[in-house]
Amino acid sequence: MFANFSSIALTILGALTWGLLLGGISRSVTARIHGRMGPRVTQNFIDLWKLFRKTSSIHHGGMFWMAPMFRITGAICVLIMVPLVVGQNITYNMSFAGDVFLLIYIMFFGCLGMALGAGNSGHPYAVIAVSRGLAQMSSYELSFSIAVVAIAVGLHTFKIEGIVAAQQAGITSWNIFRFPFASAGALLAFLPMQMAYPFGIVLAPQEIPIGPPTEYSSRMLSFMFSGRALFGVAKLILFVSLLFGGASSWLGLFVKTFLLYMYPVVVSSVFPRFRTEQSIRFLWFIPTTLALVDLVRVML
């Protein structure tokens, strides 16, 4: 039991460190693309430490303070259910038959928690961001869920470890090549999951600041940043396991998650933001149609 808790703690600490480092790298890359110098790569660690040492006297109710915990809890659940490195038992793994369905649900657990937190904030326009976020979330949730189900049906397993094991025959056995349409739909859904442009309608900093970024401060803001970093890494590992054959070594895990993380960073740096109706219309038709193509193919 102690070994399980130790491995979970090390997994969380490693994922948090990697997520903060990736966030710092993305800020530097984005700045260079825009012709700016940008902050140092370690700035996220400095900001997190400074915020954690501060206190706040702002109170908006229990759900407002629970919102970051929802995101952190969802990230931890994904991390301990997805195998990090194939064939290594260093980290604790809670995979079980049918866990793909639970992963689909948990992926949006943090988003729902943040929506509740924004709705309980003191910001007068938070409800606009909540409505935007939930509308977009329901759009990319559909395409992502269909893509995952298409892969699971095609491989005859609804266990994430089984999906990873089915891709160990070589690079040609990766699901991105075996299920190209479902993979394309899932990768398009990955952009709004990361709140990357052109699907950055939730934050929309040029229009309306939403509740959590403006109302949170001090230690609770550090928890929100930590949850975002953790969930970002959890989603990267999940997509690597679903589409890119998992990781056979720690170096492979770092390389694959880094390259996948750079995908929304580059896209976000060069594309303008969709309007709300444009984003929802795109997600309902393009990635959903792509995912349905592979689902119909494997069922026939």
| Residue ranges covered by each domain of the chain | 2-299
Q: CB within 8 A of 15, min separation 6: which ones?
A: 75, 79, 229, 230, 233, 234, 237
Average pLDDT, stretch 8-21?
Answer: 85
pTM of the predicted protein model: 0.87
Q: 6-10, 100-104, 187-191, 263-267: which has the minimum mean pLDDT?
A: 6-10
Provide the CB-side half-sphere exposure for 251 (13 A, CA). 0
- CA angle 229/232/235 to nearest 5° reads 150
In angstroms, what CA-CA distances link 286 with 136, 152, 186, 187? 14, 21, 11, 12
The DSSP call for residue 125 is T
Whether residue 66 contacts residue 216, with contact meaning beta carbons closer than 8 Å, is answered with no
pLDDT tier, 177 (very low <50, low <70, confident <90, very high otherwise): very high
Q: Which span out of 5-9, 65-69, 223-227, 261-265 was modeled with the highest average pLDDT?
A: 261-265
* Helix, strand counts (H, E) of the chain: 13, 0
List the single range of 62-66, 199-203, 204-208, 217-221 with lowest mean pLDDT.
204-208
18-22, 123-127, 282-286: the lowest-pLDDT one: 123-127
C-beta neighbour count of 59 within 10 angstroms: 9
Q: Taking Cα atoms as reference points, which of 154, 136, 153, 148 lies closest to residue 191?
A: 136
- What is the residue-averaged pLDDT of the chain? 81
As a whole-number percent, the residues of the chain with pLDDT over 90 amount to 13
Which of the pair, 251 or 85, is modelled with greater confidence?
A: 251
| φ, ψ of residue 179 in degrees (nearest 5) | -130, 70
Q: What per-residue confidence (pLDDT) applies to 92?
A: 59
